[in-house]
Chains A and B, each alone.
With several copies, the nearest count.
Chain A
């Protein structure tokens, strides 16, 4: 079932929670709503479900206009952030609920319902917990039951509000995978809310980045990552170092530090270079590309890459810089805490000063770095 939102807006009292926004979701897609707290993700999801009324706009499910349709009749599955399992019912009764409250005409008979519940519980791998009460389940188990309950009535659309928010990192990852495979198997359309970048990028077909009640960008994860179209998205998506420079002699200068204009598109104005932490090489000396002296404040060699935290030396940056090195690179130049090193960008995004446009992607032909990304 495809979903089509047109000019949806919503205010709470004086507060504009959603500015008019439109969005099309294809049948079978899995969409992640990503954004900081208070950006209106939950509100949008609840409007799609019909739990909240929009102030303006239209909502279509497939060909059907559901704008004025009651939640009850929209036939969506909804998974609440804190599961909202019925505490006084057993797991099986929870899952059966949606079936039992059907019209007498459509309602499957008792044994069919039992059968169906059993099947659903097996699908979520919790058949053995049928007679437990929600308070006797762990977070991850509750989450699965909430899913089974939402899926019991075979909705065409599944909506999930921070489905993994309250779980351990490990459990979270497991469930994430499991949800994705369930989605691929059954083929419903799903929209989920998250404020975890990794989760959104890993799980969704397309990611909707929201801020302050409007949509910043809608794109496939790889595209979103490769071409964020605003500072906000860039900031929000991941570890990024910002170099604020003034253009002088085809160099971007910041006090003692500078970065030369990249070979490709020469930036013609003052502006900011955004450099991802794994697209930064560290040298013992300034290179032809850049003179970015930094003091090493921490080195964390644990995990797939070595994370180095850096403090600008004789120039200004609002935040601490971070470089993620491969263990191989690190082994080649094992920097120590307190040392001064020189960073060199391999790849970056340029935001022109005063402009709200999407950044330009820039690159340097640095001899010293291995194969460039794409």
Chain B
């Protein structure tokens, strides 16, 4: 004990080289506490009003559980689709020159800017059986609006920018040499893509897909207009929260919200850690 003390006292006080550590960290923490964490206490207090068994009862209600399944499935499909389409978009935007590229690039952010309700109404208009797409799809015997498929469409629409915008910069930074090395070794384009480029993109792609997934889990405005909201079939968890709110049951609403929130945070945190490991292997730091 005394040795550690003496060492500590012998240690020179080193001022941080770059200015603003206290200011930037302090105000960041303050801001995060005020804007992000403090409101969370509301959630915690609401749920802590209920006992554990009641909490469990609320979050495992049959219909709520069904909504988890619907939501998760739809979000999985939507984010996987976004993974593929987002990768394609990012690839085309980074690798090729063609007229209209800038417009395409700008369009990617559109779903961020459009109010979700507008998106939902518009999608419902398009995909309803008398809509532009609905008519075509009806001929193929596919129904989108008012089915779980509609949920998928709405979710992927609102969250596509996440994938594109996380993959794009990494793809831009990718050094051509690794690719060239692969080609000189005789690999086909496909092998090079699959075995060399894709592994370098994994961290970004997975992050993008995860963000897209968590956003989809929470999506409400866009989904309810196209979902049909049939019990057990196309009710999403956000709707369950909404229902609890309509019933003035704040604790129950908070409880269900907390499930989604915790799941999302765990996912994001796990991915952060996985990504750090993966990147460490890649960059050795």
Contacts and interface: CB of A to CB of B under 8 A. Distances in A.
- Asked if the two chains touch in their complex, CB atoms less than 8 Å apart, one says yes
Interface of A: 49-58, 67-68, 70-78, 80-82, 84-89, 97-98, 101-102, 133, 135-136, 149-150, 152-153
Q: Is the contact region of chain A dominated by helix, strand, or loop, or is it mixed?
A: loop
Contact of A97 (B13, B14, B15, B195): B195
Contacts of B280: 135
Contact of B186 (A58, A80, A101): A101
Contacts of A87: 178, 200, 281-283
B25 interface: no
Given A80-B181, A84-B175, A101-B188, A53 B12 contact: yes
A58 B12 contact: yes
Contacts of B284: 133, 135-136
B95 interface: no
Contact of B180 (A51, A56, A89, A149): A51
Given A51-B183, A88-B281, A153-B185, 12 more contacts: A51-B17, A51-B184, A54-B12, A54-B14, A71-B184, A74-B184, A82-B175, A88-B202, A101-B187, A135-B284, A150-B184, A152-B185
Please classify how large the interface on chain B is, using the bins under 10, 10 to 19, 20 to 34, 35 or more. Answer: 20 to 34
A67 B185 contact: no
Given A87-B281, A88-B200, A101-B188, A71 B12 contact: no
Interface in B266-285: 278, 280-285
Given A72-B186, A97-B185, A78 B283 contact: no
Interface of B: 7, 10-15, 17, 175, 177-178, 180-188, 191, 195-196, 199-200, 202, 278, 280-285
A84 B14 CA distance: 23
B11 A55 contact: yes
Contacts of A78: 180-181, 184
A48 to B, nearest CB: 11
Nearest to B10: A56
Given A54-B12, A56-B10, A56-B11, A135 B188 contact: no
Contacts of B181: 78, 80, 84-86, 149
Contacts, number: 109
Given A82-B177, A88-B200, A101 B185 contact: yes
Contact of B199 (A74, A76, A84, A88): A88
B4 to A, nearest CB: 13
Contact of B15 (A58, A68, A85, A150): A68
Contacts of B187: 72, 97-98, 101
B240 to A, nearest CB: 41
Nearest to B15: A70
28 contacts: A49-B184, A50-B17, A51-B184, A53-B12, A53-B13, A54-B12, A55-B12, A68-B15, A70-B17, A71-B180, A78-B180, A78-B181, A80-B181, A81-B177, A85-B178, A87-B178, A87-B282, A88-B281, A89-B199, A97-B187, A98-B185, A98-B187, A101-B182, A101-B187, A133-B281, A135-B281, A149-B181, A150-B184
Contacts of A102: 186
A80 B15 contact: no
Nearest to A47: B14
Given A55-B11, A67-B12, A153 B178 contact: no
